[in-house]
């Protein structure tokens, strides 16, 4: 489904590579977790896969399509839930979703129905005509998610979709994503919530210093890592306990 | 087209949700145009209620100084205040209490009379009409009328006062010469020997409309200039709008959507062009209905409306293009807002909104030719003041349109390059 070959990325004026010769194959209908400490290269990888930035070298394809040859087809195929609330604060939830849906060529009654259904699913229907700037963090996260799936993407990228939300919102989001996955959407997600990743992901990859360190099913990784009882133990044993502050 | 219209509708919603912003967008240009026209109206009037208070120290007390004082009062420009001391007058002017002090020297009248009489005698002797006395002629020193200006006084005011006084003094000298000749030639002072009226006179030929002379007024000059200024100020909110989208993260989302940057900018262009046109209509309405109500001349738009709208549309597009480019390049509102505002002021200055282009230095005149505000202003003047046709404004509106295309294209290319680096 997603075939990443020898991808490297070095930002302008940066001393080090953010991604270094990364190879990865993500299968269809997987929920794939990209894990790693701050600055490991997770967001850079997702940004490359969503065509937000270009890799310095290497290539990738999604469902056999590349940005060089099939830019618009590829954009129609994917959805991205960015880390920020990428929404217009002074527009209502419905207006935001209608606009972003329109950007995928969706229109009319079918778009309205899809929006209302999704809002209902994520417990936001009664707030559909409220402005985004009146929403809590959890509500914004949910609208942010809906804005990315209105066009039924085959692949959904999520960059820390549950950061800063309460447990209730997190559960609703996770359940919604699982249902999307059941319906055939491949999910690639980054998170610092390792317990969440352990139960949610079918496979994970741990990236550090721009390199792929390990990949596999969470259960298998825990079993093969000595003294590890959960994914967090595996993570610490691989990436260490040192702080990863960087500017 | 669907994406373009959706983008335009989104921009419309964003605008109407910002009531304060809309008020500023529409009200401030109106305040600007009313204020500027009220201020500049007096410079177009031959008779004005607002007189400039000046000081005169009359050390002469003769006919010449009386004529100067009479001339100053009759000009209806000055409110003459007499002072006895030059030092006091100088002090008041240099402290900024008065704009000008005129110091008329002692014995100006007698000195002028003596000088003229001496010259006339000399001429008459040369013609052999009078016997020459062999005594050497006494040297009569020239007299100096001193002018003190407040240091804050503008050069244009200074030169117009100097010219006015110079003209007045020349007239007095000429009349004195005629008078002296009259006295020498005839004993009858009522006998008309000389025609003292000016032989060369000036007549300004004004443009005609329907065989009626059309006299431009402050409104016809100010409305186009400041309307254009207001239209170009759209750069500021438009660039802020784009920078905001970048900081909100909505641009990141749009970049992952199958929509071109051109369509996103197209939506903004449509809505902000409508804003420009509403601004324009409001300013015309102010010129037609509000100005006469507050004692200003009425803005005459009869028969010109279609052409005026054409100019407004193209000027609006040029301004929008610049706003799109600035918004695309700027990273923060702190960059875009002050730069946009200052740049509009620079463009206005270059374009001839404040100072006519023909009195600028050569280099600035050349620069002015590449200012879109200059093209817009010329097009507006062609319609408002020169009764130009579509053909007359075609070069200017073509340049404005090309400017829009160029700035928007640069914005699109820059965005593409920046985001794929």
ipTM score of complex: 0.84
CB within 8 Å: B256 and A147: no
Would you say residue B134 lies in a domain?
A: yes
Contacts of B27 (CB under 8 A, 6+ apart): none
Element (H, E) at A20: strand A19-26
Average pLDDT of the residues of chain B: 83
Same domain membership, residue B230 and residue B334: yes
Mean local confidence (pLDDT), B193-222 = 67
Residues of A in contact with B9 (CB under 8 A): 99
Q: Is A15 helix (H, G, I), strand (E, B) or coil?
A: coil
Q: Residue B395: pLDDT band by 50, 70, 90 thresholds?
A: very high
Would you say residue B243 lies in a domain?
A: yes
- Residue from the list B14, B255, B257 with its beta carbon closest to the beta carbon of A91: B14
CB within 8 Å: B248 and A87: yes
Element (H, E) at A216: strand A211-216
CB within 8 Å: A51 and B248: no
Distance CA B236, CA B240 (A): 6
The pLDDT of residue B131 is 60
CA proximity to B291, closest of B232, B348, B222? B222
Element (H, E) at A25: strand A19-26
CB within 8 Å: A85 and B249: yes
Same domain membership, residue B65 and residue B30: no
Distance CA B399, CA B315 (A): 10
Q: Is A138 helix (H, G, I), strand (E, B) or coil?
A: helix
CB within 8 Å: B258 and A85: no
The pLDDT of residue B72 is 84
Same domain membership, residue B243 and residue B373: yes
CB within 8 Å: A86 and B18: no
Q: Is B131 helix (H, G, I), strand (E, B) or coil?
A: coil
Would you say residue B209 lies in a domain?
A: no
Radius of gyration over every alpha carbon of chain B, rounded to an integer in angstroms:
31
Q: Which of B167, B202, B237 is the last residue in one of the domains? A: B202
**Domains along chain A?**
2-37+52-239 (3.40.50.300)
Would you say residue B29 lies in a domain?
A: yes
- Residue from the list A76, A82, A90 with its beta carbon closest to the beta carbon of B14: A90
- Enter the DSSP assignment of A124: -
Mean local confidence (pLDDT), A94-121 = 92
Same domain membership, residue B226 and residue B313: yes
The pLDDT of residue A191 is 83
Same domain membership, residue B380 and residue B231: yes
Would you say residue B379 lies in a domain?
A: yes
Q: How far is CA B270 from its chain centroid?
A: 32
Would you say residue B388 lies in a domain?
A: yes
Average pLDDT of the residues of chain A: 86
The per-residue pLDDT for range B214-243, each reduced to its tens digit, is 655 667 777 888 888 888 988 988 999 899
The per-residue pLDDT for range A17-54, each reduced to its tens digit, is 888 888 888 988 999 988 888 878 888 888 888 888 88
The pLDDT of residue B97 is 84
Q: Which of B150, B167, B202 is the last residue in one of the domains? A: B202
The pLDDT of residue B214 is 60
Query: Is the pLDDT at B408 greater than 80, yes or no?
Result: yes
CB within 8 Å: B419 and A103: no
CB-based contact B320:B269 (threshold 8 Å): yes
The per-residue pLDDT for range B279-296, each reduced to its tens digit, is 999 988 988 898 888 887
- Residue from the list B253, B258, B420 with its beta carbon closest to the beta carbon of A147: B253
Q: Any CB–CB contact under 8 A between A133 and chain B? A: no
The pLDDT of residue B213 is 61
Contacts of A189 (CB under 8 A, 6+ apart): A31, A32, A33, A34, A157, A158, A159, A161, A177, A197, A200, A201
Query: Is the pLDDT at B399 greater than 90, yes or no?
Result: yes
Same domain membership, residue B225 and residue B129: no
Domains in chain B: how many in total? 2
The pLDDT of residue B48 is 46
CB environment A83-106: b (16+ within 10 A), e (fewer):
bebbbbbbbbbbbbbbbbbbbbeb
Same domain membership, residue B345 and residue B264: yes
Same domain membership, residue B258 and residue B172: no
Q: How far is A43 from chain B (nearest CA, A)?
A: 13
**Interface mutation target, options A93, A103, A143, chain B, most CBs of B under 10 Å:** A103
The nearest alpha carbon in chain A to B16 belongs to A90
CB-based contact B56:B81 (threshold 8 Å): yes
Would you say residue B208 lies in a domain?
A: no
The pLDDT of residue A156 is 93
CB-based contact A80:A148 (threshold 8 Å): yes
Q: Any CB–CB contact under 8 A between B18 and chain A? A: yes
CB within 8 Å: A75 and B250: no
Same domain membership, residue B239 and residue B97: no
Q: How far is A8 from chain B (nearest CA, A)?
A: 14
Strand partners for B52: B78
Q: Which residue has the tokens 């229907």?
A: A125
CB-based contact A164:A185 (threshold 8 Å): no
Q: Which of B170, B202, B234 is the last residue in one of the domains? A: B202
Predicted TM-score (pTM) above 0.80: no
The pLDDT of residue B46 is 45
The nearest alpha carbon in chain A to B18 belongs to A90
The pLDDT of residue B218 is 67
CB within 8 Å: B17 and A90: yes
The pLDDT of residue A91 is 94
Q: Judging by DSSP bridges, how do beta strands A186-190 and A31-35 pair with one another?
A: parallel
The nearest alpha carbon in chain A to B264 belongs to A103
Same domain membership, residue B182 and residue B120: yes
Q: How far is A85 from chain B (nearest CA, A)?
A: 7
The pLDDT of residue B47 is 42
Query: Is the pLDDT at B317 greater than 90, yes or no?
Result: yes
Element (H, E) at A175: helix A167-182
CB-based contact B226:B33 (threshold 8 Å): yes
- Reported residue count of chain B is 421
Same domain membership, residue B303 and residue B189: no
The pair of three-digit structure tokens given for residue A168, joined into one six-digit string: 């209730």
The pLDDT of residue B110 is 87
Q: How far is B298 from chain A (nearest CA, A)?
A: 41
Q: Any CB–CB contact under 8 A between A51 and chain B? A: yes
Which CATH number is B74's domain given?
3.40.190
Weakest-pLDDT range from A74-83, B193-202, B244-253, B260-269: B193-202
Q: Any CB–CB contact under 8 A between A171 and chain B? A: no
- Residue from the list A52, A102, A147 with its beta carbon closest to the beta carbon of B6: A102
Would you say residue B107 lies in a domain?
A: yes
Domain that holds residue B118: 52-202
Contacts of B211 (CB under 8 A, 6+ apart): none
**Interface mutation target, options A51, A67, A68, A99, chain B, most CBs of B under 10 Å:** A99
Same domain membership, residue B378 and residue B229: yes
- Residue from the list A50, A105, A148 with its beta carbon closest to the beta carbon of B2: A105
Which one has a higher pLDDT value, B132 or B179?
Answer: B179
The per-residue pLDDT for range A125-175, each reduced to its tens digit, is 999 999 999 998 888 989 999 999 999 999 999 888 888 788 888 888 888
Q: How far is A57 from chain B (nearest CA, A)?
A: 12
Mean local confidence (pLDDT), B61-69 = 86
Distance CA B252, CA A82 (A): 8
Distance CA A210, CA B103 (A): 85
The per-residue pLDDT for range A46-66, each reduced to its tens digit, is 888 888 888 888 888 888 888
Please report the residues numbered 228 through 257 in chain B whose beta carbons come closer than 8 angstroms to any beta carbon of chain A: 248-250, 252-257
């Amino acid at each position: 489904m997603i075939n990443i070959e020898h991808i490297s990325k070095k930002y302008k004026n940066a001393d080090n590579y953010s991604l270094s010769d990364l190879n990865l194959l993500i299968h269809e209908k997987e929920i794939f977790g990209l894990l790693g400490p701050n600055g490991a290269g997770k967001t850079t990888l997702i940004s490359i896969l969503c065509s937000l930035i270009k890799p310095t070298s290497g290539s990738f394809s999604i469902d056999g399509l590349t940005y060089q040859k099939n830019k618009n087809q590829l954009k129609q195929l994917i959805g991205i839930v960015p880390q920020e609330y990428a929404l217009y604060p002074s527009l209502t939830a419905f207006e935001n979703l209608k606009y972003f849906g329109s950007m995928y060529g969706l229109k009319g009654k079918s778009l309205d129905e899809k929006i209302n259904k999704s809002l209902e699913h994520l417990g936001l229907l009664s707030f559909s005509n409220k402005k985004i700037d009146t929403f809590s963090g959890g509500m914004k996260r949910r609208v942010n998610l809906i804005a990315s799936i209105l066009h039924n993407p085959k692949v959904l990228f999520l960059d820390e979709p549950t950061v800063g939300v309460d447990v209730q919102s997190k559960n609703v989001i996770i359940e919604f994503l699982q249902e999307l996955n059941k319906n055939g959407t491949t999910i690639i997600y980054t998170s610092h919530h390792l317990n969440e990743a352990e139960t949610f992901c079918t496979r994970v990859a741990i990236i550090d210093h721009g390199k792929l360190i390990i990949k596999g099913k969470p259960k298998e990784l825990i079993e093969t890592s000595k003294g590890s009882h959960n994914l967090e133990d595996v993570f610490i044993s691989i990436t260490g306990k040192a702080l990863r502050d960087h500017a | 087209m669907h994406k373009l219209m959706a983008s335009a509708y989104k921009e419309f919603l964003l605008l109407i949700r910002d009531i304060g912003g809309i008020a500023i967008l529409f009200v401030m240009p109106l305040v600007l145009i009313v204020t500027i026209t009220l201020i500049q109206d007096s410079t177009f009037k031959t008779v004005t209620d607002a007189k400039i208070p000046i000081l005169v120290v009359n050390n002469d007390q003769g006919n010449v100084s009386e004529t100067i004082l009479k001339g100053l009062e009759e000009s209806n420009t000055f409110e003459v205040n007499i002072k006895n001391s030059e030092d006091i007058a100088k002090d008041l002017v240099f402290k900024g209490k008065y704009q000008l002090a005129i110091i008329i020297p002692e014995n100006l009248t007698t000195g002028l009379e003596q000088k003229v009489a001496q010259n006339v005698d000399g001429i008459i002797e040369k013609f052999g009409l009078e016997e020459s006395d062999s005594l050497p002629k006494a040297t009569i020193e020239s007299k100096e009328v001193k002018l003190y200006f407040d240091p804050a006084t503008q050069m244009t005011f200074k030169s117009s006062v100097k010219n006015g006084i110079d003209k007045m003094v020349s007239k007095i000298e000429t009349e004195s010469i005629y008078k002296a000749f009259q006295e020498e030639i005839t004993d009858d002072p009522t006998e008309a020997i000389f025609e003292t009226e000016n032989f060369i006179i000036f007549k300004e030929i004004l443009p005609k409309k329907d065989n009626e002379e059309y006299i431009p007024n402050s409104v016809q000059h100010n409305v186009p200039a400041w309307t254009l200024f207001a239209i170009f100020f759209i750069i500021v909110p438009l660039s802020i709008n784009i920078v905001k989208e970048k900081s909100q993260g909505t641009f990141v989302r749009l970049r992952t959507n199958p929509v071109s940057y051109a369509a996103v900018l197209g939506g903004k262009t449509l809505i902000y062009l409508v804003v420009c046109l509403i601004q324009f209509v409001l300013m015309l309405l102010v010129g037609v209905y509000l100005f006469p109500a507050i004692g200003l001349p009425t803005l005459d738009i009869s028969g010109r409306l279609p052409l005026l709208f054409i100019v407004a549309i193209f000027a609006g597009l040029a301004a929008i293009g610049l706003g799109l480019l600035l918004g695309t390049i700027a990273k923060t509102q702190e960059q875009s807002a002050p730069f946009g505002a200052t740049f509009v002021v620079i463009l206005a200055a270059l374009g001839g909104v404040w100072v006519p282009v023909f009195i600028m230095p050569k280099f600035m005149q050349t620069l002015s030719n590449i200012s879109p505000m200059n093209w817009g202003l010329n097009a507006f003047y062609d319609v408002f003041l020169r009764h130009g046709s579509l053909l007359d404004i075609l070069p200017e509106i073509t340049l404005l349109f090309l400017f829009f295309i160029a700035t928007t294209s640069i914005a699109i290319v820059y965005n593409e390059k920046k985001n794929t680096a």
